[in-house]
Amino acid sequence: MNTSLSHLLTLTCIVGFAGACLASEAKPVPAKPTDGRPALLDGVKKILFLGDSLTDGSSYPDMVVNTLNKAYPGAGFEIINSGMCGDTTSNLVVRLQADVLDRDPDLVLLVIGTNDCMYDRPMADFRKNLAIVLDALKQRGIKVMIILPSHFTLSFFEDRFQRHLTAMKEIAAERQLPVADVHGAFLVAQQKGMKVIGPDGVHHGPDGFKVKAQAVLDALGVKEPMDTVTRPWPGLQLEWETSQPVPFIEATNNPTLTAATGWQPYDRAKAIATVPWHDADYPRRGAWMPFAVTPPPKKSMAFGRTHYLAKEAGSADLWVGGSAPLYVWFNGVAVWSADRPKGYHPAAVRIPVTLVPGTNTITVMANFMAFAGIKPAVRP
């Protein structure tokens, strides 16, 4: 394998049920809004962003939804990030029910194909998988916009990518779906000298999130100036404490709360000011990043804890996301763990928990970052 190809495959972690369990009644037709929004946004409140690592952890969903809420005050558009780094269309099919349909979105913005191209998956499978996803969304009455992904800077991949772009255009035309041409917008921006693609040739550079969000807003027909400020997601825990570092092997071989010592307040503002630009929106969004300010001398994990005050006992969903490995405890009981990322965003995993009146303690262990928040229980 040539060096450029090997390097790119190593660095790139880009975005995913089979055909059962899709039956459900279509959404009722809501009253037409009177705020002048484009037709595609009629009846829309929950917007789900589906894709690979160009969605997972990206700030473009925040920019789109924040701009929509600014353009249409009182609409209350909600953001659901359902990107997963490394995903192909096959992965989307596998997680379609849990990560898309069960979240009951009104509109899905779908951008996929980069990894299908990189891994040279059969085009027949690419088309078949997209059909499964789109058929399921149509059956549920969920609106869809197809987003043509940003380009590769390495011509070997970009040349091969043209067949995926053509397939997506053809599928969108056949199904009469709107299209946002992010691919074209990135090429134009790059010609203007904008830094839309990062050093690995795939992931977005400093200008990439803005160009992508603007292309989507243009396709939606929204003329409001873009709101590029990343804000904490509603319901996330923002006040954290951080333990002393724990050696990685020791921590992961025997994950137990007894290893957590030396708790100190976590300074989110300082984390925002310290981390590189490509990580800064994580703490802005509400992430706990234990080593953002002072990296440990060797590979380590750290515990983070935060407290949620409940007025009464009851069921709730604990929303979690972040890097891997990741371990989660609720009121001292281990409730979830993962050895690979499930999503670098707050809505990656929803864990059913039972609240007690008063203080409920959420504890996590990670080596890079984690999100946590309490939301009302939602069961499919």
Which range is least confidently modeled, 8-22, 61-75, 100-114, 206-220? 8-22
| Class of the CATH domain delimited by 3-220 | alpha beta
Residue 21's pLDDT band, with cuts at 50, 70 and 90, is very low
Q: For tokens 């450029």, what's the residue?
A: 4
Tell me how crowded residue 254 is: count the other CB atoms within 10 A of its CB.
Answer: 9
Residue 379's pLDDT band, with cuts at 50, 70 and 90, is low
Quick one: fold of 241-376? Jelly Rolls (2.60.120)
Instruction: Residue 129: name the closest of 13, 47, 19, 14 by CA.
Output: 19
Residue 241 has, within 13 A of its CA and on its CB side, a CA count of: 13
Structure tokens at 116: 């299908």
Q: Distance between CA 307 and CA 237 in Å, rounded? A: 8
Q: Distance between CA 181 and CA 220 in Å, rounded? A: 11
- Contact at 8 Å (CB) between 97 and 135? no
How much is the pLDDT for 188?
97
- Contact at 8 Å (CB) between 92 and 129? yes
Residue 319 has pLDDT above 60, yes or no: yes
Q: For tokens 């059962």, what's the residue?
A: 20
- Neighbouring-strand partners of residue 337: 327
The predicted model scores a pTM of 0.89
**DSSP secondary structure letter of residue 343:** B
Residues of the chain with pLDDT > 90: what percent? 86
Any idea where the domains of the chain sit in the sequence?
A: 3-220, 241-376
Q: Distance between CA 361 and CA 287 in Å, rounded? A: 17
CA 306, 257, 302, 254 dihedral sign is negative
Q: Distance between CA 252 and CA 242 in Å, rounded? A: 17
- Contact at 8 Å (CB) between 177 and 195? no
**DSSP secondary structure letter of residue 31:** P
Residue 281's pLDDT band, with cuts at 50, 70 and 90, is very high
- Contact at 8 Å (CB) between 91 and 16? yes
Q: Distance between CA 312 and CA 92 in Å, rounded? A: 38
Q: For tokens 């190593």, what's the residue?
A: 10
Residue 347's pLDDT band, with cuts at 50, 70 and 90, is confident
